[in-house]
Amino acid sequence: MTSVALCIAREHDLRLVALALLICLIGSAASVQLFSRVRAASGHSRLGWVILAAVSAATMVWATHFVAMMAYRATAPVVLDPLLTLASLLAVMCLAIPGIALAARHCSWSGALGGFVIGGGIALMHYIGMAAYRVDGIVAWDGRYIAASVALSCGLTAAAFHSLTSSTRAANIRAVGLLSLAVAALHFTGMAAMHITVLKLGSGLSDLTMEALAVTTAVATCIIVGCAAISALIDGHTQSESYRRLRQMAMHDGLTDLPNRTSFIEELERRLLVEGGYPRMAVVMLDLSRFKVVNDTYGHQAGDRLLVALAARLGTILDDRALVARLGGDEFAAVMSYDDPDHLTHFLARLSHAFVEPFELDRFTASIRANIGVALTICDGRDADALLAKADLAMYRAKSAHLSQPCFYDPQMDDAVRERRELIADLRHALDAAAFEMHYQVQAAIPSGDITGYEALVRWHHPTRGMVPPGLFIPLAEESGDIVALSIWILRRVCFEAALWPNTHPVAVNLSPMHLADPRLIETVRAALADSGLAPERLSLELTESAIIHDRRLALEQLKALKAMGIGIALDDFGVGYSSLDVLRSFPFDRIKLDASFVAEIEHDEQAVSILRSVATLGLTLNMSVLAEGIEEPAQLAIVAREGCSAIQGYLIGKPSRSLADPEQTRKIMSLKPHPVVVHVDPPSVGTMKDDRLPSANFWPT
């Protein structure tokens, strides 16, 4: 140690030694910086960074050695062998490449092993460099110092790269120190190993030349190493900037720049987990009403602008405890942490208030409202998904009841909503899978008992609930907007099935009010008839008065067009709705169907019988046949027959079924008195709805 210190102090130009150490430090820092890029890169770019880091480290080591050699004041003449000098640079470079590649592998031992190889390269460079240093004298080497210098180089470099297996700032600083120490220790211990016995005084290179060479080398090295370090810095910055941008894109809504669903759920989960955070939290769901109108009237760009304006307005009501996110479409959500319930009340009031003022946009002014649902951790649990679902259900209730004030989740009220929504979701799947089938209920003439036709009644086979009656799912389909698709399927299915019947009885299809309002209805009916080959006279459509009331003009137009095609029109469920004489007079009905609930009264209520009589007379006057629905008892049949109804439908003559009624049986039942038997013919099934093969013609009884 003393010999090394004496060697530096007595035999070196200390200014150039300082310059060498400066290069060593700068170069080590650059090498560490480049090494971090190697570890972060993969594929071809990793190889590129390995080579760049190796070149930088090798140049730094070589320049340190070269400048330190220039600092050495040899008493004998000195010359440098250019080939060996160059070879020393190439030697360290060749070993630094595999060394760095090895050190950058993600194993616990690879850092030290890679560093050891690089340390070997540094020692090799030094001694090849010393071989290039030709002194006019006798050079003797002390083997102990040589061994110590190699051990120091390998050991310290191994420690430096081992330290880099962790990428903390402290580990990087430690690595820079160790690497610089490895290079300097090798060099000066190696120099202490050399003893020159002077044969001739003087020097080959003048001091001035040495200084000039040293400074030039130092500057050139700094430029090379500096460029490499800067490229590492730029790459690191670009990568972290791209990462930041990607994260911003992944976690934020592109339109409003609000956090998106992923980010919202992450934040909600984080808040729920935070120890010692606010014990109370509210999850708020917002659904915009009337937003669709803006989109439909002014276009999607206008809708987008409105959403951006709304997001900006929502941003102004937030404090550090609240967060608003856009979950998608016109659905927003907020999470609010609070300790005083008043804070929540104020927050919800501000949220509702955000929708009071209309939005003034360039071309228009939009007034939108929000339905707000709230779930609270204190009563609704601390599970993020469950809280969101509960807030959503409460919001759905606010929407169904058209409430502008926030609705808080209520298990009793909202579980029914949940069941409804589940059924709607199942209905969508059923539509895709066509999990429905048509049943037919016979209608017969009074008094002959001749079959006059059938009413088609849809059935849904639910995978877990079994047979779901139409009275339950038709209103659901109307609510979810799926009714037109279902109605089209039913219409086509009935036409195709009826076209295969061996008889020519008419078939009646129930038409939902929304389908009557569909402008493509006429086209749909025409296509169903043409595709199935069913004669238009065999099809009739049943509709209730509620279908007509909504848009009377359109309803009249559509019905007239259908009538012109030869299709029959029946007014269903007469007697329970408006029962308007005006409707009967103005619309082209062929048949009035008296509702079953009304028929149920006639056995005990004289007034009901009088009304029945009036309706039958009205039918006669307006040239419309009157069919009594829900006839279960022979007594009911007797009354409706006596009062002038022209046809019946009911369990007495046949329940809705996949098979058609036997005409003989029907006639017999109609004529039997006083205890007719309900006959239900049950031939083999005609297959499921998924199976598009329809029953063969000889299956149906004539």
Binding site for Mg ion (CB under 5 A): 510, 542, 572-573, 629
Cis peptide before 341 (omega within 30 of 0): no
Q: How many Å apart are CA 178 and CA 184, to the nearest integer?
A: 10
**Residue 383, SS3 per DSSP:** coil
* Window 468-507: residues binding ligand C2E (CB under 6 A): 469-471, 474, 487, 490
CB of 351 to ligand C2E, least distance (A): 40
CA distances in angstroms from 76 to 68, 69, 195, 202, 645, listed in the order given: 17, 14, 12, 5, 138
Cβ(187)–Cβ(65) below 8 Å? yes
Angle at 154 between CA 80 and CA 36, to 5 degrees: 100
Stretch of residues binding ligand C2E (CB under 6 A), selected from 121-129, 334-342, 495-503, 643-651:
643-651
For ligand C2E, the closer of residues 122 and 490 by Cβ is 490
For ligand C2E, the closer of residues 102 and 457 by Cβ is 457
Read off the amino acid at residue 576.
Answer: V
Please choose, from the candidates 32, 19, 33, the residue with its C-alpha nearest in 3D space to the C-alpha of residue 65: 19
Stretch of residues binding ligand C2E (CB under 6 A), selected from 15-23, 56-64, 270-278, 628-636:
628-636
Contacts of 65 (CB under 8 A, 6+ apart): 20, 88, 125, 126, 129, 183, 187
* Window 521-550: residues binding ligand C2E (CB under 6 A): 542
CB of 562 to ligand C2E, least distance (A): 15
Q: How many Å apart are CA 266 and CA 282, to the nearest integer?
A: 15
Residue count, binding to ligand C2E (CB under 6 A): 24
CB of 333 to ligand C2E, least distance (A): 36
Q: How many Å apart are CA 483 and CA 476, to the nearest integer?
A: 8
CB of 661 to ligand C2E, least distance (A): 13
Read off the amino acid at residue 532.
Answer: S
Token pair belonging to 453: 């036709």
- Find which of Mg ion, ligand C2E, none residue 330 binds, CB within 5 to 8 Å per kind: none
Token pair belonging to 629: 């629905």
Cβ(437)–Cβ(409) below 8 Å? no
For ligand C2E, the closer of residues 329 and 469 by Cβ is 469
The residue written with tokens 């934020």 in the block is 252
Asked if 637 touches ligand C2E (CB under 6 A), the answer is no
CB of 629 to ligand C2E, least distance (A): 6
CB of 511 to Mg ion, least distance (A): 9
Asked if 650 touches ligand C2E (CB under 6 A), the answer is yes
Cβ burial 482-515 (10 Å sphere, 16+ → b, else e): bbbebbbbbbbbbbbbbbbbeeebbbbbbbbbbb
Cβ(590)–Cβ(550) below 8 Å? no
Asked if 513 touches ligand C2E (CB under 6 A), the answer is no
- Find which of Mg ion, ligand C2E, none residue 656 binds, CB within 5 to 8 Å per kind: ligand C2E
- Find which of Mg ion, ligand C2E, none residue 469 binds, CB within 5 to 8 Å per kind: ligand C2E
The residue written with tokens 């030697």 in the block is 91
Stretch of residues binding ligand C2E (CB under 6 A), selected from 223-231, 283-291, 413-421, 648-656:
648-656
Q: End-to-end CA distance of the chain: give it in Å, rounded.
A: 118
For ligand C2E, the closer of residues 326 and 591 by Cβ is 591
* Window 444-473: residues binding ligand C2E (CB under 6 A): 456-458, 469-471
For Mg ion, the closer of residues 13 and 573 by Cβ is 573
Q: How many helices (H) and strands (E) does the chain have?
A: 26, 20
Cβ(631)–Cβ(653) below 8 Å? yes
* Per-residue binding letters, 402-441, with ligand C2E (x by CB under 6 A): ---------------------------------------x
CB of 456 to ligand C2E, least distance (A): 6
For ligand C2E, the closer of residues 13 and 595 by Cβ is 595
For ligand C2E, the closer of residues 149 and 512 by Cβ is 512
Residue 401 dihedral angles phi and psi, to the nearest 5°: -90, 5
Read off the amino acid at residue 69.
Answer: M
Read off the amino acid at residue 577.
Answer: G
Token pair belonging to 19: 């310059």
CB of 452 to ligand C2E, least distance (A): 15
For ligand C2E, the closer of residues 143 and 471 by Cβ is 471
Token pair belonging to 645: 């109804």
The residue written with tokens 């010692």 in the block is 276
CB of 361 to ligand C2E, least distance (A): 41
- Find which of ligand C2E, Mg ion, none residue 258 binds, CB within 5 to 8 Å per kind: none
CB of 593 to Mg ion, least distance (A): 5
Cβ burial 383-393 (10 Å sphere, 16+ → b, else e): ebeebbbbbbb
Q: Which positions touch ligand C2E (CB under 6 A)?
A: 441, 456-458, 469-471, 474, 487, 490, 510, 512, 542, 572-573, 596, 629-632, 649-651, 656
